[in-house]
Amino acid sequence: MNILVLNCGSSSLKFQIIRTDLELIEKAADVRLARGVLERIGSETLITHQSGDNPAVKEAQPLRDHHAALDFVLRWIVSPESRIDTIQSLADIHGVGHRVVHGAEKFNVSALIDDAVLKGIEDCIDLAPLHNPANLKGIHAALRLLGPGVPQVAVFDTSFHSTMPETAYLYAIPYQLYRRHKIRRYGFHGTSHRYVAYRYRQLTGKKKEETNLITLHLGNGCSVCAIREGKSVDTSMGLTPLEGLVMGTRSGDLDPGVIEYLSHKEGMSLDEIDALLNKQSGLLGLSGLTNDMRELLEEEKEHQDRRAKLAIDIFCRRARKYIGAYLAQMGGADALIFTGGIGENSPVIRKRIYENLEWFGIETDDRANAEICDGKEGDISKPSSRIRVFVIPTNEELLIARDTVRCINSKQ
Ligand code: ADP
């Protein structure tokens, strides 16, 4: 089956076409046929697309909305220009998998989209007012352009964390607020944490019940997950993606008292504080320079910029603190896994997070660490290390495509 995977943001659309089916999943022989990104939808849209191993092509077009953006993508996919031999017409697209950010307590697993599922995703808008509406735009555009005959599946960022125990997901605020409004921790990046745990099993030959990990997804958004017996038992993001690690522009953990104090001192509204914590904080806020880790490392090295160093140090310290907390909570783990743009590509940051933890059972190999970047994967720990350390590039799209195939098959 050829599965179109869509990840829609408020003004962006990322896509992949993946050929997969139950047999290919079994053999881990799924193939990515094409991928692309459309940014700045609503104005002059920047488009990058690439099929197979052909060079990526960049172009710009005015695309009004997500419908126009997906229309563009579908036309490109079926055109001879894309050189995807197995797709000649839209009838060769057999399913669509959508990344949906928030599934709250309604969706513990991926779901074949029907009216009830659409309503469920709409009901979660309160919890993810920026993300779920964008995901819904992608779903509606695909329904209109491909028709009801092409099955569509929603894969939720929160689902993997639905196995967290109450003790991990409840906030210590009056319990009736959880009952009344479902205020609790949900966690995000679930598909990424789930993918690297799956890949760890493939690399090590372990069974699901033997999968005890701490996975660190460090990208623009960052989260840590504690995985016991293959299941998420704790994660650093909460009701929203703001909690936990220091991120590109998000503060992560913060005394809630700061909010009242800020509004008092700066005369800021709740909306303004929300924007400050989500969009002007984290690496950007601390450094006053950028949210981009590569640039910060450059500033630190080339210009000995004090605030760049401070931002990086605080970023690493927070990640390390979570590793310690989760190891204590789980009573140890078999491996740490780094993923996401920073986790996959920055040996320097990885080392600053785990260094001097030999007493803890984490012994790493500097040379192996230095060699792993640019999409490579591998074990960077010494053979004597009690806790292994892996770098595994994430591949959320692959799991979305596979879930799509499984959901379609289970309904047939
Ligand atoms: P998103 O969360 O938006 O998907 P990514 O996972 O692509 O983001 O991560 C983006 C982050 O990864 C940026 O801060 C970027 O600077 C960082 N990054 C990418 N490559 C490197 C590198 N070689 N060294 C350090 N940081 C890097």
Q: What is the pLDDT of residues 177-216, one digit of tens each?
A: 999 999 999 999 999 999 999 999 999 999 999 999 999 9
- Report the separation in Å between the CA atom of 259 and the middle of ligand 1, taken as the mean of its atom positions: 29
302 pLDDT higher than 80? yes
Q: What is the pTM of this model?
A: 0.96
- Report the separation in Å between the CA atom of 136 and the middle of ligand 1, taken as the mean of its atom positions: 27
Residue 130, pLDDT score: 85
312 pLDDT higher than 80? yes
**Ligand 1 pocket: which of 189, 218, 220 to mutate (most atoms within 8 A of CB):** 220
Q: What is the pLDDT of residues 124-178, one digit of tens each?
A: 999 998 899 999 999 999 999 999 999 999 999 999 999 999 999 999 999 999 9
Q: What is the pLDDT of residues 263-274, one digit of tens each?
A: 999 999 999 999
CB within 8 Å of 369: residues ≥ 6 apart: 347, 350, 351, 380
Percent of the chain with pLDDT over 90: 97
Nearest to 354 by CA among 386, 383, 389, 394: 389
Q: What is the pLDDT of residues 98-118, one digit of tens each?
A: 999 999 999 999 999 999 999
For the CA of 217, the closest atom of ligand 1 is 6
Asked if 157 is an active-site residue, the reply is yes
* 6 and 98 Cβ atoms separated by less than 8 Å: yes
Percent of the chain with pLDDT over 70: 100
CB within 8 Å of 362: residues ≥ 6 apart: 336, 354, 381, 385, 386, 387, 389
CA–centroid distance for 214 within its chain: 15
Measured from CB, residues less than 6 Å from any atom of ligand 1 are 219-221, 248, 292-294, 297, 340-342, 345-346, 373
The band of 339, judged by pLDDT with boundaries at 50, 70 and 90, is very high
Residue 411, pLDDT score: 79
Nearest to 100 by CA among 125, 75, 70: 125
Residue 257, pLDDT score: 97
- Report the separation in Å between the CA atom of 344 and the middle of ligand 1, taken as the mean of its atom positions: 8
List the catalytic residue out of 157, 234, 379, 403: 157
CA distance 380 to 370: 9
Residue 191, pLDDT score: 97
Decide: residue 3, CB within 10 A, 0-12 exposed, 13-18 middle, 19+ buried.
Answer: buried
- Report the separation in Å between the CA atom of 363 and the middle of ligand 1, taken as the mean of its atom positions: 25
- Report the separation in Å between the CA atom of 163 and the middle of ligand 1, taken as the mean of its atom positions: 29
**Ligand 1 pocket: which of 192, 294, 297 to mutate (most atoms within 8 A of CB):** 294
362 pLDDT higher than 90? yes
The secondary structure of residue 89, as a DSSP letter, is S
For the CA of 346, the closest atom of ligand 1 is 24
Residue 305, pLDDT score: 97
Residue 307, pLDDT score: 98
CA distance 183 to 174: 10
Residue 101, pLDDT score: 96
Residue 360, pLDDT score: 86
CA distance 296 to 307: 9
Q: What is the pLDDT of residues 64-105, one digit of tens each?
A: 999 999 999 999 999 999 999 899 999 999 999 999 999 999
Q: What is the pLDDT of residues 371-388, one digit of tens each?
A: 998 889 999 999 999 999
